[in-house]
Structure 1
Amino acid sequence: MSNALARREPEEVALLTGPRAASVLAAALAPAGQRLESWEVHSVHHRPGAGVSVGYTAVVLSPDGRRRTEYLCATTARLSNPQAPGLTRVAPTGGDGPPVHVWRHPADPELPALAVACTPSLLSRRLGTQVKATMVAYRPTRRAVVRVTYTDQSTSYAKVLPPGHSRAFAERHRMLLAAGVPAPEVLRDDPDGLVLLSTGRGVALSGLLSRGMDVRRAERVFASLTHLLDSLPASALQLEAHPAWSERARHYAHAAATVLPEHAARARAVADGVEQLMASSDPGPIVPVHGDFYEANVLMEGEGVASLLDVDSLGPGRRVDDLACLLGHVSVLDHLAPASYPHLRPVLETWTALAEAQADPVALRARCAGVVLSLVAGARREDGGPWRPDAEGRLARAESWLAAGREIQARRGAH
């Protein structure tokens, strides 16, 4: 990321989340004769090096005096379709700053299938049966997940992606299923980017972590997780490689500094340390990897893996990065929800020791630090709830992973 871009993105976050956001939204509504009566930030999505997107709940006054609550989105990201219907470009005031594109949900310029996926009448028509649609997750311009509920109360999930990405996503699911890896089935794969998936079997791994496990059970569950990674098909090596989280440590340090500006130097120091340890440790061979392997993406039945979710990043990579993704995410759960994970630390210690049998201990900890650094900015909440202790706890956890890696490296140097 260029220095100019690094300097600009905190300003973009400030523009789209601070008082000046009102003038951006008002300018986008003006061509239709509408006025902005009130607004509040609902979600912030900062992709380091690729722009800032913000969702707002807004009360809009129509020319006839009617008030409506609408969901508006604004982004500084570069769009592939800047002429999309319903998109308004707002030039920066005074000619200084990035152009901002604004739209009303669900008219996302990069996700043309979103309007169908989250409008029950349109989705029912496409599927040929009556359904309800419930939004589960939405990252403007990137993806959305909608829970589809049928009249018999069964469910499936519609994943909405940019049309250029959806076919490859569906193929990854088919590749896993063909190899006997438990994953949701592709029920339909439409050219506009809507992929319908069966509901994954099992319950989230986080449930086991919340209840706690003795050492033997923790060992058996970890064996199930690594067996799953061993079963990823060799054909995944032919797919496009995605950068590991730790390989973008500098980007995530920048994002962390945006939400915790008083700790910017600490975030940068973690990124520097991650890069240094990664350069001086053995990452192991290139193998098939999941790419986003953590507790929310693994469903369990008992001690066995029942479903693997979110396979967008399946492809060639290093086993150490899948292990670090798991351990890094688990290591912040008790910052995210302390009351829910009172028994986490013994399991984490057991899993870390087992992971060392498969990966260089220094490389593992460096990458754990990089993963946790990537999670700092995500602690920020827009619902008024306290998030700063969580964000600061995540930064401290990244520092502790890094310190542990440095200590092992130092001991090696002493021999």
Structure 2
Amino acid sequence: MTNGASFAREGEDLALLTGSTAGDMLRGAVGTDAVLRSWQVHSVHHRPGAGVTVGYTVTVDRQSAAGTWQRQEEYLCASTARLAHASSPHLTHLRSGDTRVAIWTYPEDPELPGLPTACSPARMAQLLGHPVSIELMSYRPTRRAVVRVTDIDGSASYGKVLRPPQAQSLAKRHMMLERAGVAAPSLLLNVPSGIVLVAGAEGEPLANAISRGMGSRAAQILGALSAVLDSLPTDALTLTKRPAWAERATHYAHAAATALPEQARRCRAIALEVSHLLAASDPGPLVPVHGDFYEANIYVDVASSAVTGLIDIDSLGPGHRVDDWACLLGHMSVLPHLAPRSYPHVASDLPTWRNLCERMVDPVSLCARTAGVVLSLVAGAKRVDGTAWKHDAEGRLATAEAWLTRARIWASGRIPVQ
């Protein structure tokens, strides 16, 4: 199947899994000893070229062994993705036309064997040797989950649940940073089933500082960010190189166009120009990179303008420094669309960081790659809870275009308005 046909099929799959007929599939999945009373789409996960997964909150009446009926809330997932463990006993397989759908009840994710343990206070207490409480922080079906593990004294650690090979890779990265003395949470536990438990990061998320406004500290904080990137160990160059966000612009254009079909032409045009400018600009040398370097994954002590922690280091490895900066600027530039009241100072702080970054790396490459990062964030604006989201998504699309305009100005030999 060609990419175009595959992408069109995924649009149909998305409509299938989020439309009214999804209820029929869910009724077939809850079993003969249960009655589906209600269901609602909770989350949509679309990975271009790799399928669609939808999470549902459902109300079910189940019959017990004693013959009594009990009403309970459950979380079900339905996926068209190709699963490595499609024969899992926890799966129900259904077909709608030519589309095969696998359905499971959380936490029995077929690709995340560690999830039932990570979500169970009793099982985690047994692993750690003391009582704990568990809070699910995030869940991306078949890909990953994050839980907060709180001890009786109130201290917290964080468990990331991944496919076992990815979990081992993440544990390796944490140990690598710890040996190099890089500010990152220490590894506490590495469970073969795919649970990596790490300590909490010191300081506060950089997002908080951006929300309050950095003012005169903006340049100093960026200097600290540059220093922590410079401190990444050269051993990271031996790790697997992963594509940067901008290098997958075509995929993200498809996801954006699926969310905003009326803007499909703009999405494709952005991806095309990003790819053109990437080929025509200098990304700089291959160096160790974080790979997902933005405000939620960076912890700081604002008083000292110091970086106190890097989290979500799954993408640590060889890459180009320009992509870490593009990730930072791209995410920062969509914050006013995401939550304008929470980020009133971005308009004044972002130009400071942008101008400094343009001096450190090729500005054409930086602006084009930042546009690619922003494009990757367009589909994420879509909401399924009834909250208005199109203004946010279209704002992100316009922001990607603005970054491309700046890249074109630099490419023409002119200097953009600062």
Q: Match of 2:107, as an amino acid?
A: P
Counterparts of 1:201 and 1:334 in 2: how far apart (Å)? Answer: 26
What is the aligned partner in structure 2 of residue 87 from structure 1?
91
| Number of aligned residue pairs | 408
Contact 1:233 1:288 in 2 (8 A): yes
* SS of structure 2 residue aligned to 1:340: coil
Counterparts of 2:235 and 2:317 in 1: how far apart (Å)? Answer: 9
What is the aligned partner in structure 1 of residue 300 from structure 2?
300
Instruction: Structure 2: give runs of 5+ residues left out of the alignment.
Output: none
Contact 1:369 1:399 in 2 (8 A): yes
* SS of structure 2 residue aligned to 1:330: helix
Identity %: 55
What is the aligned partner in structure 1 of residue 55 from structure 2?
55
Aligned-pair CA distance for 1:404: 1.1
What is the aligned partner in structure 2 of residue 158 from structure 1?
159
- 1:133 paired with 2:134, answer yes
Q: Match of 2:284, as an amino acid?
A: G
Counterparts of 2:272 and 2:414 in 1: how far apart (Å)? Answer: 20
* SS of structure 2 residue aligned to 1:208: helix
Aligned-pair CA distance for 1:69: 1.1
Aligned-pair CA distance for 1:171: 0.7
Aligned-pair CA distance for 1:12: 1.3
Counterparts of 2:20 and 2:342 in 1: how far apart (Å)? Answer: 36
What is the aligned partner in structure 1 of residue 116 from structure 2?
115
* SS of structure 2 residue aligned to 1:258: helix
- Correspondence 1:138-217 to 2 at 5 A: 138-214=139-215, 216-217=216-217
What is the aligned partner in structure 2 of residue 2 from structure 1?
3
Which contiguous aligned blocks of 4+ residues in structure 1 show a shift greater than 6 angstroms?
A: none
Counterparts of 1:126 and 1:207 in 2: how far apart (Å)? Answer: 34
Aligned-pair CA distance for 1:62: 2.2
Aligned-pair CA distance for 1:65: 3.8
Q: Match of 2:400, as an amino acid?
A: A
The alignment's C-alpha RMSD in Å is: 1.3
Match of 1:399 among 390, 401, 405: 401
Aligned-pair CA distance for 1:61: 2.4
* SS of structure 2 residue aligned to 1:357: helix
Q: Match of 1:59, as an amino acid?
A: T
- 1:218 paired with 2:222, answer no
- Correspondence 1:251-330 to 2 at 5 A: 251-302=251-302, 303-330=305-332
Q: Match of 2:266, as an amino acid?
A: R
Contact 1:108 1:114 in 2 (8 A): yes
Q: Match of 2:392, as an amino acid?
A: D
Q: Match of 1:342, as an amino acid?
A: P
TM-score, normalised to structure 1, is 0.96
* SS of structure 2 residue aligned to 1:99: strand
Aligned-pair CA distance for 1:412: 5.7
What is the aligned partner in structure 1 of residue 72 from structure 2?
68
1:163-185 deviation digits (Å, cap 9, x = unpaired):
12111100101101111101011
Counterparts of 2:252 and 2:33 in 1: how far apart (Å)? Answer: 40
Counterparts of 1:212 and 1:157 in 2: how far apart (Å)? Answer: 28
Aligned-pair CA distance for 1:45: 0.9
Q: Match of 1:83, as an amino acid?
A: S
Contact 1:85 1:107 in 2 (8 A): no
TM-score, normalised to structure 2, is 0.95
Aligned-pair CA distance for 1:59: 0.9
What is the aligned partner in structure 1 of residue 371 from structure 2?
369
Contact 1:41 1:382 in 2 (8 A): yes
Aligned-pair CA distance for 1:411: 3.2
Instruction: Structure 1: give runs of 5+ residues left out of the alignment.
Output: none
Aligned-pair CA distance for 1:51: 1.0
1:362-405 deviation digits (Å, cap 9, x = unpaired):
10010000000000000112222221111111011001101111
1:346-374 deviation digits (Å, cap 9, x = unpaired):
21101011111221111001000000000
* SS of structure 2 residue aligned to 1:91: strand
1:184-225 deviation digits (Å, cap 9, x = unpaired):
1110101100111101111010111111122x4111000000
* SS of structure 1 residue aligned to 2:134: strand
Counterparts of 2:113 and 2:405 in 1: how far apart (Å)? Answer: 46
